[in-house]
Structure 1
């Protein structure tokens, strides 16, 4: 099992999770982070650090978020590794609880 970044991260991109990851499995896109499933060691440290509550164990993803398993795997192959915390996007707090943001994902 791996951990998956879900829709709540879109247009937020808080990077608190990156600081605690012992294996640098996060990848950074323009307005979203993903977890590389081949690198994740299932340590759970990132889950509690995410202000948007966007990270789930693959088996615990809400039914409407299951597609994010494939999205994380796909984008992890394309996006660069992020290893240090950065500022969230400027309007992250406004977007954190918004639902239905998949169309806002910048690939």
Structure 2
């Protein structure tokens, strides 16, 4: 992962659906991407339909993590095919790192 001038982390982004915070999160995501700042939004891809504009602003990242992926979820911010995956095969902390079109299995340590 290249060096970044900063980091933005947003948990439970889907909670912004229907609130005045959603346009602000969209603007934040766009500005951070333009500046090269690392942006981490925690959300369930199944809930991304309700916050489609934010999900669209995050699409096609250069680098990212997907934890506990499931091929039944059609929406993904990554263009890369993760293959046939089932969430049941991925305990908490397991998933894939995606960088420059390369998909690598990972395990993220839990506290």
Q: TM-score, normalising length from structure 1?
A: 0.28
Q: TM-score, normalising length from structure 2?
A: 0.28
Higher normalized strand content (fraction of residues) = 2
Q: Which has the larger radius of gyration?
A: 2
